[in-house]
Each structure stands twice: as C-alpha cells, then as structure tokens.
Amino acid sequence: MADIFLSYSRTDKARVAPLVAALEAQGWSVWWDPEITPGDEFDALISAELERARAVVVVWSTSSVDSRWVKGEARDAADRGVLVPVRFDNARLPIDVRSIHTTDLDAWGENRQSAPFKALCAALEAKLKLSAAKKTAAQSTAAAAPRVGICVLPFTNMSGDQEQEYFSDGITEDIITDLSKVSALAVVSRNSAFVYKGKNVDVTKVARELRVGHILEGSVRKAGGRVRITAQLVDGSSNDHIWAERYDRNLDDIFTLQDEISEAIVKALRLKLLPEEKKAIEHRGTDNAEAYNLYLMARQSYITGYETDDRRVEAILRLCKRATDIDPGYSRAWALMASAQMVMRFDRGKNGDDGLAAAERALTVDANLPEAHAVKARILAQYGRHDEAAAEIDIALRLDPDSYEVNRSAAYLRFRQRKLDEAIGYYEKSMSLMETDLHSGTMLITCYTAIRNSQAALRVGRISVSRVEKMLAQDPNNATAMGYGAIALATLGEGERAREWINRALLIDPDNMAARYNFACTLTSFMKPPDVGAALELLGPVFDTMAVDWLKHAKADPDLDPLREDSRFRAMIAAAEKRLAAAADGDSAPGS
C-alpha cells in the first residue's frame, strides 16, 4: 500500500514525474500509473490502489479537469476525506471540489524548498496523520454496534426578548455536547445544526440531508428566576414523536434539567448510558446557575465580533469577572477573561492585565481545557515566545480539533508567520464552526487572494456577504459588519455597492477604526481600479491610534502589500512604531 495515490492526466506526465520524485524524496511512497505492469487488470488495480491510499494527490490542469477518470478519483478521495488537490495553469476546478483548498504549483519550479511544495507537504503530513488516527480509531471500534444518528436543532427562544437568544443557543450547545459524550450516538456538529437556526424546517427533509435517524427540537423560555424548556425527539423517517416533555423549573435547576433531557433521550432510543458517560455529562465546569448564565452572555459577545468593539470587550471582562467571583473554579470563564484581557492589552492598547495569569488560572483548574491553551499560545506569541506558543496550540488542537476558539487561534498564529496555506485550513474550519463569524471569512479572502486562488475567494465572498446582510437586517448601523462586507463585495466585483457601504459606515461611525482599516484594504487590494489615495487617508487615524498587535497585523497583512513602497505608508509605520516605543511603560515578557 502506497502512502500517496497520484491522479493526473497522461498529457501531464512530464511535469508530474518531477513532483513524484520530490514527494518520494520526502520519504513517502507514491503510486501512479506508470507502475502498472503488463497483464494487470487496469481498472481493478487502480481501484484497489485508490482505496488503499492514505492520501490522494489530484493534479488539476487544463487537461485533467476534462478527464472523467481524474474527476471520478477526486470525488472518491473527497468522499473519504483523503483528497489533497494541486493545480497547474490556474485551471478552473470542477464545481464539486472548489470548496477544497488547492495548492497552486505553477511557481514550484521543481524545487523542494519552494513555498508551494512546502505547502503541499504540510497538507499531506496533516492528511496522513489524520488517516492514521482514523485507522486506529476504526480498528479499536470495529466490533462496536452502529451508532444512532441524531441532530439537535437550535432551540427556539420563546422569551420575547431577542437579547435572551444567548441562553437558548447556550442550552442547545450544551445538549449537543452532552449527547456527544454518549458513545452509542453519532451527533451532528453544531455548525451543521445551526444552519437551520430561525428556519421553519421539514424534519424528514433535515434528517435526509444530514443522514440521521432522529431529530431533537425544542424551545426555551427564560423569565426572572424561572426557565421552561420543551423538547421533542422525532423519528426522521416517519416524523413520529418518540418522546416529548415540558420542564418548568427554577433557573438554579438548569444543570439537573439538562442532565434529565440527555438521559431521557438515551432511554427513549433504548440505548445504554455508561457510568463514565453519565459522569462526563454531569461535569460542566460550574455548579452555579448564575455564573453559568453570565458566562453564556459573555461568550455570545465573543462569537459576534467582540475584538473590534471596546464596549463588547469591556462587557466580557465584567461578566467573566463576576462569574469567577461567584465560582473561582469556573475554568471556561477564566479562559474567556484571558481572551478579553489579551485583546484590550495588545489590540486596543489599554493598560491592564495581558491575560496570561487568567489563562494559567484556567489551566490550574482544568489542565485539559483547549480554549485556555489556545489563548495562552496567542499571548506567548505576543512576547516572541514562539516555540512555547507552538507547543500550546498543538496541545489545544489535540484536545479539541473542532473548537472554534482553538481554530481561530491556530489560524491567527499561522497568518502572522505568513504561512497562508496553513492558516487557510484553520480559518475554513473556524468559519464553518460559527455562523456569526465574519472575521474568518475576511481573513480567508485575504489569504486566497494572496495565493491567487480566485475561485475560493469568490466562494468565501458569497458566504461573507450573506452573513453580513443578516447582521445588517438586525442592526442597519453596524459599521464593523460593513467593514467586513465591503471586502467581500469588492471581491465579488460589486464595487459600487462596496463604496455605498463604505460611505454609509463612515457617516454613521467615523471613529470605528476596524471598519476604516478594512475599507482601506478594500480600496487597496480588492477594488478595481484601486484607490491608493483614499486608502491612505482612511489609514491615517488608524495608525495614529493602533496598538502593538494591530501594528504587527498591518505589517503581515498581504492586503496592504501594494502600499509598502509608498513613502506615505512607510511614514505611517515609522510614526506608529515611534509612538508605541515612547508609550512603552517598561513592560517586559513574563517569566518562563
């Protein structure tokens, strides 16, 4: 069995051969059809090698995109999660694989030290490690019974107050997490379930789309010190109710209530809840309902774009401070506090804690909390302790590769190192994990534009515009959302509409520096033709006020590359550096 199956068009053999040699020089075994010997059954051999390969490199070119064999092999690999596509000639990819990140190899020059080849190797290493892990997991569970598929749809907020949405979303997320701890269940992920949020759904259709047998839906009404939760478990094929219940309790009973719902679902499905699973479900990080409610409020601000809004960051700090005062052992609240403190110190330039103490407090309480390791990695990176930061983010990814916070942090670290191909994978994941995330989409557009993957940039642009439009429907004066949206619109070729949003936002909120920065990026790298003069005018106040982390971002941001040789832009950088150096108050890196 070869490590890598290489799929390509025969007309590309001359350019594929050096690529095979380079991959083999990395120590991997590669199978490609020159190895077919006379007398072999062509289709049978290819099918067998394709099935056994741990990774499939598909070489897209102007020839291979028309090959039904290559397209078929790509679809098979994508279905199995082992596809690693590359491209020559800026070939237009088949529509069903455009969402998968593709490495352009036109500039690799048959050089194993080139950035494109290193990016390919990084993608292969990740895929081969994942394949090995899946194989081990599959072997260990080979004798296990098939798991029961279930989707928990977002519970409806019935409180009559839009601001209570955080609570119903939090309840839904916790039920998803609880049921995921039951080994007999296969639970649809949060990001897939929340696609249906706010929609009138056909349960049987949702079950077919998600390939599950059961759907859990419900509602939450919270008022004063009382909470009412209704829940019903539905058979996805017949639309029959298997179980339904209404709970009306004091808010202090919220944890017991959640446990009862999870256990009732397991019982209704005639499954067995193992003792260790019951114990895991009951472990929530806090037993205090008030601290839990405060944390849910803080996290809602976090996932809806807190980093560009001082008021939201300050609110998160107050909420987490109160939550940890009530329960000093609430590790998740400490980790979220660390994120807010980090942003205030390094991104907003405010005096105060840098977040490291709060992150370490979280880890003292729960050494396996992935979000705490992730934020600690970002803080250590601020002090140039990059090896330690890399170790922390590796731990976080190992503990929970599906955490939104962890993937955002991993993407951030890779982007700052200009490792755009690696950053893309993490930003794709974080964007998919949180439907309110605008930042990841904008960063993906930046990365894809920088590596000249226009099709991927267009795909993300469409997603981003859709998300911004939903936010503006709720808050038409959200200048931060318009800042993200302008980049997406310009990417899609809607320059006039992008300018309308820019002008509108500057009238509504002229002091929104995050929006001004994004508008400058729009005018510099995404608008056709670019408007360098207007971009520099927008950036003036931003550089006059930006903190050290924002300056680091500006120095690494490919969107601003067209300005780097402009004397006015270089003067802005120099002035910001001088201002920040003068303002330094003797801060030094924390002790190791």
Give tens-digit pLDDT for 289-336: 899 989 988 988 877 665 666 788 899 999 999 999 999 999 999 999
**pLDDT band, residue 1 (cuts 50/70/90):** low
Q: What is the mean pLDDT of residues 484-494?
A: 95
**Would you state the pLDDT for residue 591?**
46
Type of residue numbered 158? M
Answer whether residue 252 shows pLDDT above 90.
no
Q: Which CATH class is domain 148-284?
A: alpha beta
**Would you state the pLDDT for residue 77?**
82
Which residues, at least 6 apart from 86, have a Cβ–Cβ distance to it below 8 Å? 19, 57, 58, 59, 60, 102, 103, 104, 105, 120
Write out the residue limits of the CATH 3.40.50.10140 domain(s) in the chain.
Answer: 4-140
**Would you state the pLDDT for residue 475?**
86
Which residues, at least 6 apart from 89, have a Cβ–Cβ distance to it below 8 Å? 61, 62, 106
Integer CA distances (angstroms), 4 to 136, 323, 397, in order: 18, 50, 25
Question: Rounded CA gap, 89 and 91, in Å?
Answer: 5
Give tens-digit pLDDT for 417-432: 888 989 999 999 888 8
| DSSP assigned state of 32 | -
Q: What is the mean pLDDT of residues 340-351?
A: 86
**pLDDT band, residue 201 (cuts 50/70/90):** confident
Question: Rounded CA gap, 195 and 198, in Å?
Answer: 9
Write out the residue limits of the CATH 1.25.40 domain(s) in the chain.
Answer: 438-586
Integer CA distances (angstroms), 166 to 125, 156, 324, 531, in order: 39, 11, 19, 40
Question: Tokens 């064999």, residue?
Answer: 69
Answer whether residue 434 shows pLDDT above 90.
no
Average pLDDT score, the chain: 86
**Would you state the pLDDT for residue 432?**
84
**Would you state the pLDDT for residue 66?**
85
Answer whether residue 564 shows pLDDT above 80.
yes
Nearest residue to 524 via CA among 423, 450, 428, 438: 450
Question: Rounded CA gap, 123 and 77, in Å?
Answer: 14
Write out the residue limits of the CATH 3.40.50.10610 domain(s) in the chain.
Answer: 148-284
**Would you state the pLDDT for residue 43?**
54
Answer whether residue 444 shows pLDDT above 90.
yes
Type of residue numbered 281? I
Under 8 Å between Cβ of 460 and 476 = no
**Would you state the pLDDT for residue 520?**
95
**Would you state the pLDDT for residue 589?**
47
**Would you state the pLDDT for residue 45?**
61
Backbone φ/ψ region at 136: left (φ over 0), alpha (ψ -120 to 50), beta? alpha
Question: Rounded CA gap, 355 and 313, in Å?
Answer: 13
Answer whether residue 137 shows pLDDT above 60.
no
135-149, 202-216, 517-531: which has the minimum mean pLDDT? 135-149
Tally the residues of the chain: 592
Integer CA distances (angstroms), 345 to 350, 353, 372, 382, in order: 5, 7, 17, 10
Q: Which CATH architecture has domain 438-586?
A: Alpha Horseshoe (1.25)
Selecting from 3.50.50.60, 3.30.470.20, 3.40.50.10140, 3.40.50.720, what CATH number does the domain 4-140 have?
Answer: 3.40.50.10140
Answer whether residue 592 shows pLDDT above 50.
no
Largest CA distance in the chain: 79
Question: Rounded CA gap, 516 and 505, in Å?
Answer: 9
Answer whether residue 347 shows pLDDT above 70.
yes
Q: What is the mean pLDDT of residues 401-408?
A: 89
Answer whether residue 67 shows pLDDT above 50.
yes
Which residues, at least 6 apart from 344, have a Cβ–Cβ distance to it below 8 Å? 310, 313, 314, 317, 350, 352
